[in-house]
Amino acid sequence: MIELDDNLTTNRKEITKALSSTFGIAYFAFARYVAQEIKGIREMALAALQDKEFETFKIKTRRPDQRFLFTAQQVNEDVGAFILSKMDKTVQLKDPDITCYIDIVQGAVYVYTEKTPGPGGLPTGANGKVVGLLSGGIDSPVASLLTMKRGAAVTFVHFHSVPMTTEESIEKVKQIITVLSRYQTRIHLYLVALTPIQKEIMVKTKEKYRIILYRRFMFRIAEIIARKEKARAIVTGESLGQVASQTLDNIAAIEAVSSMPILRPLIGLDKLEIINLAKEYGTYDISILPDQDCCSLFLPKSPATKAKTQFVEAEEENLAVDKLIQDAIDSIDIIKILA
């Protein structure tokens, strides 16, 4: 229960917006409260209904505090009869115009007529911390939001190809982070330059393996960041079969470099379902803005779709893997956001 000041009309919209973005809330209501006394409950129910337009109503009581003298049914009948004596209305138990809810809890009674659905899920952070790979596209923000919804706080990692590309992708990700901060108040965003790694891959390995090799480096770097942040898993926006790198063979070849669990909340969703979730959470309009992400740089003409891990590993033998990773780690920029 949060006690509000008298300026409820001004604050109500802002409060509703905040609670609607707080994972772990099934529903919330703006309620009046009164002492555990039947006369006061009657009067409060009448006050809650008097400014409403309706013809039919019902009283619905919950009694978590079993010490209260009346049963829930007795409260329903008593308060319902009182309302009928004061207002020219009709009781209708099925599909009434309005329901007056009465919650009898320890030390107080709450009375309200509207329930607003919350986003559900579990409180963010209740299930620990993860690292989320965040591009400027549609999928990865949704994947991170669904992970937040299941109680994991997300630290974000964005790979960019500046100066080979413009800084649009970085600015776009910052805008997405602004939306995500409605759902998680403390956010760390790691910005990692992938360009030197991409150049080495382009020059020293077979073209068809480029995307897979990019992503293997991303996973390695993300795992280092995860251990620094005391995170316990890595989250990606992959959806099975959606693009060339997201086949089962390629997924296996990519995640082989990680010793951490890889979470893929979108794995069984099609693109339209993901788009609908992006619109619901408020990231879609930003995600569709044009930009150049790091994986679009030096794209192969015919990417491998059934890569074998041993062949990918053989290509990596041409690269100074540890040095490239360390150089990328040393160049990281960190943005900390407290919403």
In this structure, the answer to whether residues 315 and 333 fall within a common structural domain is: yes
Domain closes at, from 60, 94, 113: 113
Spatial distance between the Cα atoms of 140 and 173, rounded to a whole number of angstroms? 11
CATH code for the domain of 67: 3.30.2130.30
> What pLDDT was estimated at residue 156?
98
SS (H, E, C) 251-317: HHHHHCCCCCCEECCCCCCCHHHHHHHHHHHCCHHHHCCCCCCHHHCCCCCCCCCCCCHHHHHHHHC
Q: Tell whether the torsion through CA atoms of 278, 281, 287 and 293 is positive or negative.
A: negative
Assess if residue 139 is contained within a domain: yes
In this structure, the answer to whether residues 138 and 60 fall within a common structural domain is: no
In this structure, the answer to whether residues 309 and 203 fall within a common structural domain is: yes
User: Per DSSP, what are the bridge partners of residue 187?
Assistant: 337
Give tens-digit pLDDT for 31-89: 999 999 999 999 999 999 999 999 999 999 999 999 999 999 999 999 999 999 999 99
Residue type, position 63, single letter? R
Domain that includes residue 94, residue range: 31-113
* Region 157-174 average pLDDT: 87
What does pTM read for this prediction?
0.87
Domain closes at, from 66, 82, 113: 113
Assess if residue 88 is contained within a domain: yes
CATH code for the domain of 192: 3.40.50.620
